[in-house]
Amino acid sequence: MQTKLATLRSQLGSLRQKRAAVRWGSALCAPLAVALWLLVAAFLCDWSFNLPVGLRGVSMLAWVVGGAWGIRRFAWPLITVRETEQDVALIVEQQHKIDSDLVAALQFEQPRAATWGSSRLEQAVVDYVAEFSPGLNVFEGFSYEPLPKRAMALGLTVLLLLVAALVFPGHGSAFWNRFLLGSAHYPTKTKIESITVSGQPVSVFHAGETPRVSVPYGQKIVVAVKCGGEVPRAGFVQLSGVKTDAVNRVDLNATAPEAATFSGEIVHVADSFRVRFHFGDAVSDSAEVVIVPLPLVDVAWEIEPPKYAALAMKPGETDGGSRQLAVIEGSVAKLKLVCSNKPLKSATLTVGAGGSPVPLLKMNAKTNTGGPPATTTEWTLPPGTPFDSIREGLKYEIQVLDEDGLSLETPISGQIRLKPDRLPRIVATAVTRFVLPTALPKLDYAAGDDFGVAKIVAVISISREDGRTSQHEVVTKTVRQSDQPQTILRGQLSIPLSPYELQKGDEVKVTLEVTDWRGDLTGQKGLGEPITFAVTDLNGILAQTGDEDKKTAKQLDEILRRELGIGGDKK
């Protein structure tokens, strides 16, 4: 609605807007300038002292507090001002030294003013002000101060920082990253390009978790650093304890004159420690060197001999606790490998020189040592290896890789050789060597084998006086499968001569042949010494009887023990 004081109200509104713009502009410039200079201070502190993350967090907090102070000190008093139309009119009255006519006229033009008193007087004041207000300069005495000064201070600050960022972009980006608690580093004249600790690469700079390098206990630690840029003559690595306050320093020298590679050794270290490398103006992030024990590996073999041999073996004879074993051909060797101090990532077994490593299989086994059952990890051979049925001597090597990436300093080596299954043995003796053509001579015999005797055969060779020869085989003794193993077999055999129609002067040679027991496998044969009988008549027999009767069973046993070494049964 158009009023008599519309022109005045418009001028006062414009003045109020300009005054508000000056206040808000001043309120914005001053805190921004303060915040930027606080960033400069934070950069100088961080760049000078290479602040860790914790102190950088304190620096960020100080910047926030300083910014809040700048807002409270320079902006808050200005942005909290709320000027009304009448407030601005009052300022104009004071500037032009006018009585309260402007404020009164603005108040009298309000609808509620009709209830205040004389309407003629109110209308007269409004008309009076409406008449002279078009010529009134409401902007007289208005100034933009202190906005230009504060804007200039802010502008110069921004310009200075922009120039610095353009001249040193690396410093600027690094500072902003570090200010936000990042892991960036300021550019340096010397550059650390690579670091290795005991042959393991270590990141020069890293974000997040501190890198770790595992080094076996007791081994010498060799560190190597490669530098670029302005390469110094020497550098050093600073050592600090992980669980203690111990600090040490090891100098690193160039591997050759004018070389960019430096190396050094760290010895006599028992506990884990942190390392930080210093070369020229470059300093790496810290890394942790963890001193870890080598894996403690126990190897045991479980030997399963062939069935025929297992029955005759003594308890403990198949014990595979040793790494040098002798087994019967056809035996099965089962490996059990256990690491007692840490988990393993892998384990391999290599057979012979130049063989391909065979990965072992990981299995869980239940153990109970008097308490609750516990689960242990065992490693064993996969199917299809020569150990499933050993047919020849085997040399092997075992190597492991634990969870720390460490292997055995020296691989476990051993050998499995074949233990020969000796041929069966047999000895025999006869009371007399002169027989009649129809006699039934008796042979006392003793046969032995490591794992059992299966059969005894008498091989009879006849040489007649007219030059003719013949050979015959007679099965004299067979041991049933259910009676095995019979490792020692003694007895007496009768050799009937009447079927051969012998004559005086003929010669009969009897050789005992023994076959050993090997279960379902074909047994091997062993021959005894032949016993020769001379065929004679009654007078020849009588002449030899006295001497032959002196041989007794006791003499036979002595011969058996001497010849065979089988003087008693196995227990």
The confidence score (pLDDT) of residue 552 equals 47
The confidence score (pLDDT) of residue 366 equals 60
Q: How confident is the model at residue 567 (pLDDT cuts 50, 70, 90)?
A: very low
Q: How confident is the model at residue 319 (pLDDT cuts 50, 70, 90)?
A: low
CB 443 within 8 A of CB 509: no
Provide the residue range defining the domain that includes 73.
6-164
Q: How confident is the model at residue 8 (pLDDT cuts 50, 70, 90)?
A: confident
Is the domain of 372 the same as that of 486? no
The confidence score (pLDDT) of residue 327 equals 87
The domain tally of the chain equals: 4
List pLDDT tens digits, range 108-146: 777 676 667 677 777 777 776 777 777 777 777 777 777
Instruction: Decide if 131 is inside a domain.
Output: yes
Is the domain of 40 the same as that of 77? yes
The confidence score (pLDDT) of residue 562 equals 61
DSSP labels for 79-140? HT----HHHHHHHHHHHHT--THHHHHHHHTSGGGGGTS-HHHHHHHHHHHHHHGGG--TTT
- Is residue 458 over pLDDT 50? yes
Instruction: Decide if 176 is inside a domain.
Output: no
The residue out of 367, 390, 418 marking a domain boundary is 418
The confidence score (pLDDT) of residue 1 equals 47
CB 441 within 8 A of CB 541: no
Is the domain of 35 the same as that of 99? yes
Reading the block at residue 358, the tokens are 């065979």
Instruction: Decide if 171 is inside a domain.
Output: no
- Is residue 434 over pLDDT 70? yes
Instruction: Decide if 240 is inside a domain.
Output: yes
CA 181 to chain centroid, in Å, comes to 31
Question: Domain holding 326: CATH number?
Answer: 2.60.40
The residue out of 387, 418, 449 marking a domain boundary is 418
Q: Is 155 helix (H, G, I), strand (E, B) or coil?
A: helix
Is the domain of 75 the same as that of 111? yes
In whole angstroms, what is the distance from residue 369 CA to residue 13 CA?
A: 95
- Is residue 92 over pLDDT 90? no
Instruction: Decide if 169 is inside a domain.
Output: no
Is the domain of 26 the same as that of 141? yes
- Is residue 438 over pLDDT 80? yes
Q: What DSSP character marks residue 282?
A: E
Amino acid found at 267: V
- Is residue 351 over pLDDT 70? yes
The residue out of 399, 418, 437 marking a domain boundary is 418
- Is residue 356 over pLDDT 50? yes
Instruction: Decide if 485 is inside a domain.
Output: yes
- Is residue 216 over pLDDT 70? yes
Is the domain of 133 the same as that of 243? no
Instruction: Decide if 405 is inside a domain.
Output: yes
- Is residue 97 over pLDDT 80? no
Give mean pLDDT, residues 459-469: 89
Is the domain of 19 the same as that of 154? yes
Is the domain of 550 the same as that of 437? yes
List pLDDT tens digits, range 367-411: 555 545 556 889 999 999 999 988 899 999 999 999 888 888 899
Is the domain of 58 the same as that of 160? yes
Instruction: Decide if 177 is inside a domain.
Output: no
Look up the pTM and report it.
0.53
Question: Domain holding 554: CATH number?
Answer: 2.60.40.1940
Is the domain of 16 the same as that of 145? yes
Per-residue burial over 498-530, b = 16 or more CB atoms within 10 Å of its CB, e = otherwise: eebebeeebebebbbbbbbbbbeeebeebebee
Mean pLDDT, all residues of the chain = 84
The confidence score (pLDDT) of residue 12 equals 81
- Is residue 330 over pLDDT 70? yes
Question: Domain holding 258: CATH number?
Answer: 2.60.40.10
Give mean pLDDT, residues 178-202: 92
